[in-house]
Amino acid sequence: MKTLKTVSALTILSVLFIFISCSSSDDSESDPKTEVCTKTCDKGFVLNTDSCECEKEVCTKTCDGNFILNADTCECEEFIAKVIEVDASVVTLTEDWKKRTTIADYTGEGYIVWEGPGQTWKGNIGEVGKLTYTIDVPKAGTYLFQWRSYIAKKADVDPWAEHNDSWLKFPDADDFFAERVGGSILYPKGSGKSPNPAGENGNGFFKIYMNDVDKWSITTSTSDSNAHQIYVTFNEAKAYTVEIAARSDFHAIDSFRLTEQKP
């Protein structure tokens, strides 16, 4: 009996020893959370030591002159503006818009001129003589709008201020605004945004004028006596609508273009 008790005691001690040894062995294993990450990352990526994952490096480089930052490569690249050009005469004419070729130096197939009554100081701004164009925008961004126009009938008094404007609207653009050098920004009345330009405007249309006589002009301004240039922002590269409507009689439009602006 004494022998059996001794064997039992030895067995129990052996089991305890194995259990303690195993516990000690488990404790000695390295905790994966405390392992040092030795992963290497490709150029343009940095190591997140907490997750041991490579993450895209935030580029803080600045570019000078006519260069812009390519966020994907973190390199400065020359900015080459996208330009959209439209022959204004290639459109389905409405009401008293006429296609003419009388004035020299037009481009494309000819120019258009409103030969109906002037549509100024009316309540239905932009609804009379409305022309609709579709443009394909190749790249998202903000574009400067300019048209090439002509005073096709000179008034006896102040010829620079008559027959010199039409209505313009971008109904589905993401932003349509006017800006003056120095940062003053205006929005067309009826767009739900303010401030609005001086002079009559409404229904989301800008009154676009120029003041050059006896020549084709790319001057494209809004706001009387406080000229602002016209800009349009497109958030996607796709097709958009341009609306031109009659305002002054004998305001001729040859073409228009949109030039991408440097971000």
All structural domains of the chain with their residue ranges: 83-260
pLDDT of 223: 93
Q: Which pair of structure tokens corresponds to residue 202?
A: 């409404």
Q: Which residues contact 10 (CB under 8 A, 6 or more apart)?
A: none
Using 70 as the pLDDT threshold, list the residues of the chain that sit under it.
Answer: 1-34, 122, 200
What fold, for 83-260? Jelly Rolls (2.60.120)
H or E segment and range at residue 8: helix 2-28
233-250 pLDDT per residue, tens: 999 999 999 999 999 999
pLDDT of 4: 44
pTM score, whole prediction: 0.76
Q: Reduce the secondary structure of 65-103 to three states and give it as a string.
A: CCEEEECCCCEEEECCCCEEEEECCCCCCCCCEEEECCC
H or E segment and range at residue 2: helix 2-28
pLDDT of 29: 54
Q: Which residues contact 183 (CB under 8 A, 6 or more apart)?
A: none
Question: Is residue 197 a contact partner of residue 186, using CB atoms and an 8 Å limit?
Answer: yes
